[in-house]
Amino acid sequence: MDDYAADVLGLMDALELDDAVVGGLSMGGYVAFAMHRLAPSRFAGMVLADTRPQADSPTALEGRVRLRAVLAKDGPAGVADQMLPKLLGETTRRERPDIVGHTRALIESSSREAIDDAIGALMTRPDSTPGLESISCAALVLVGEHDEIAPVAEAEAMQRAIRRSTLSVIPGAGHLSSLERPDIFSRGLGDFLRAVL
């Protein structure tokens, strides 16, 4: 995660941005946590969407090992088959085939190497829970109502641990709330940015 974080911080340097509202969804949240560990003064605000601060549990690690085996055998299409039911809420899967197709295409457009590297980064990420109380900038925690990967209860606990944070639960959405309910997600994000900037 620190490599991903250093890349984003390098981009901020190239753009001559001293600070920014930094946000991430799912794995992007883990990158945001890593960025905050490396350079907390660069944060004008933080957005944490459908993510969690904990490192992988032993059960989650076993699941990642199995997913790597699927990737080796069946490629990105196999990963899509495994992950789509976890990434998208039941309502989205039932009523929005366009979102299902779009999400599948995103996964299948990634190389085996990129997916394998990402799984490795997920498996080795540190526990960010102890650092939550050190986040002093304003923060927005967004979570899909039906997120099975980073459930609402975990988002609520994370929000309570970050002093200047608010929580927004996106109705009818799963783990990819920005794709599943972009109208509600964007409204919550816009309100937060107007208050911070």
Query: Which tens digit of pLDDT belongs to each residue from 9-18?
Result: 999 999 999 9
Query: Which tens digit of pLDDT belongs to each residue from 46-81?
Result: 999 999 999 999 999 999 999 999 999 999 999 999
Q: Which two tokens stand for residue 99?
A: 């979102």
pLDDT at position 119: 97
β-strand 20-25 against 139-144: which pairing, if any? Answer: unpaired
Strands annotated E in the chain: 20-25, 43-49, 139-144, 165-170
Task: Give the pLDDT band (50/70/90) at residue 172.
Answer: very high
Task: Give the pLDDT band (50/70/90) at residue 146.
Answer: very high
CA atoms within 13 A on the CB side of 104: 13
**Which residue has tokens 């560990």?**
37
Strand arrangement of the beta sheet that strand 165-170 belongs to: 20-25, 43-49, 139-144, 165-170
- pTM comes to 0.95
Task: Give the pLDDT band (50/70/90) at residue 197.
Answer: confident
- Whether residue 192 is predicted with pLDDT greater than 90 in this model: the reply is yes
* Residue 11 CB partners (closer than 8 Å, separation 6+): none
